[in-house]
Amino acid sequence: MVSKRQRIARKRYKEANPELFPKPEPTPPKDPNKKKKKKSTFKKKKGESKDPNKKRSFTKHPFRVAGMKPGESCFICKEHDHIARDCPRKAEWEKNKICLLCRRRGHSLKNCPNKNDEVVDKKLCYNCGETSHSLANCPYPLQDGGTKFASCFICKEQGHLSKDCPKNTHGIYPKGGCCKICGGVTHLARDCPNKSGKASDAAIGRFKISQFEDRPRGQVTKLSSGDDLEDDFNFKADDVNEDDDAKLKKKKEPKVVNFANAVSGTAVQDECKLKFLELKAKRNYRFIIFKIDGQEVVVEKLGSPEESYDNFTNSLPPDECRYAVFDFDFTTNENIQKSKIFFIAWSPESSTVRMKMVYASSKDRFKRELDGIQVELQATEPSEMSLDLIKSRAY
């Protein structure tokens, strides 16, 4: 590559030695009297048809089909002379389609007999309701998750999408299933908010456990400790008078443990998920309090939208652990109305050690079932979940 210094040196050398660099002679003008060469008469002519009355026909290229590239075909009947839009077997193909409006099989939304053209074909922003733009280009702040003017295909109500509908227990998985990372049904694994290395490892572990749940397994002997016993110090008088042989037999009998339940923890009732979806999508409740009853998490109390944060804190028992969800509304410094959903793990100091361990081991699994939690708090006394602390975490 020639540098700037070299170009300047070359220019100075040409100016100092012009005899070494003669100018090129100009090209002579064209001679107007010069005759052009005749074309060769020996060029082979194209074959002409013997019949002079027959007109020349222009055949269409076999791949010249509108909307089709060379080598492609109709994906319905695999023919090469038309596209799928003009296929004669298109009606048979649409028999398996499910309409998004009436949820019936046999036609699409475009050909639905119950379609109202003014409502269905009208494109509007789900956030502000205007027709001049879409939700992605809305200049206003999002309200109620950006689905205030959206219509649900399942319950026909306005204010939420079908994936957040409380009547839709499958979410975006109509044939069943869930996110492989967090277990939610409102998003795919690639869009999971908990997507990280730890979450992936946990998902792989859950997949391996579910893979071996259906296989026959042998008996597993469990060595029980004091925490696993219901009562360490209460015993019956009949047990003292038992024979030694009976005691030995009782000790030798192995205890069968369901290994899958030991890993997964407590179960979650479907009512917990449905009530949480109603709080998130419809704002029917201000707070929900959950408790562990036996081996599953159930709903203990529902707070109406008119109740305050003091009503919520007074609903928590002073000597028992609980899970709680609170919908907190606030106004930002830019005077914008917003809301955040808090997940609170209430574990007071006066509760028993066993109860604390059960609630702590089941917290992560239960929280994964509630898709949409934004802030998490752990409190052992009322000062750790005061209203000022809630406001600071919300901003």
Encode pLDDT of 41-70 as tens digits.
665 555 555 555 555 555 555 556 777 777
Weakest-pLDDT range from 55-64, 111-120, 279-288: 55-64
CA dist 298 and 323 (Å) reads 10
pTM over 0.85: no
Instruction: Give pLDDT, residue 334.
Output: 82
Instruction: Give pLDDT, residue 240.
Output: 41
What pLDDT band is residue 315 in, cutting at 50, 70 and 90?
A: very high
Instruction: Give pLDDT, residue 50.
Output: 54
Query: Mean pLDDT over residues 364-378, rounded?
Result: 90
- Is the pLDDT reported for residue 260 higher than 50? no
Instruction: Give pLDDT, residue 81.
Output: 84
Instruction: Give pLDDT, residue 130.
Output: 84
**Domain residue ranges of the chain, discontinuous segments joined by +:** 73-122, 267-394
- Is the pLDDT reported for residue 129 higher than 90? no
- Beta bridge partners, 325, equal 288, 343
Query: Mean pLDDT over residues 258-266, rounded?
Result: 45
Instruction: Give pLDDT, residue 167.
Output: 78
- Is the pLDDT reported for residue 148 higher than 50? yes
CA dist 75 and 82 (Å) reads 10
Please, what is the Cα angle at 42 between 40 and 46, to 5 degrees? 105
Q: Take residue 276 and report the two structure tokens written for it.
A: 């949480």
What pLDDT band is residue 90 in, cutting at 50, 70 and 90?
A: confident
Instruction: Give pLDDT, residue 314.
Output: 92
Q: pLDDT digit string (tens) for 177-231?
A: 888 888 888 888 888 888 765 444 544 455 444 444 444 444 444 434 444 444 4
Q: Which fold has domain 267-394?
A: Severin (3.40.20)
Instruction: Give pLDDT, residue 229.
Output: 40
Q: Are 197 and 252 spatial neighbours (Cβ–Cβ below 8 Å)?
A: no
Instruction: Give pLDDT, residue 380.
Output: 92
- Is the pLDDT reported for residue 256 higher than 50? no
Q: Take residue 186 and report the two structure tokens written for it.
A: 């409102």
Report the 10 Å Cβ neighbour count for 112.
16
| 192 phi/psi in degrees, rounded to 5 | -70, 130
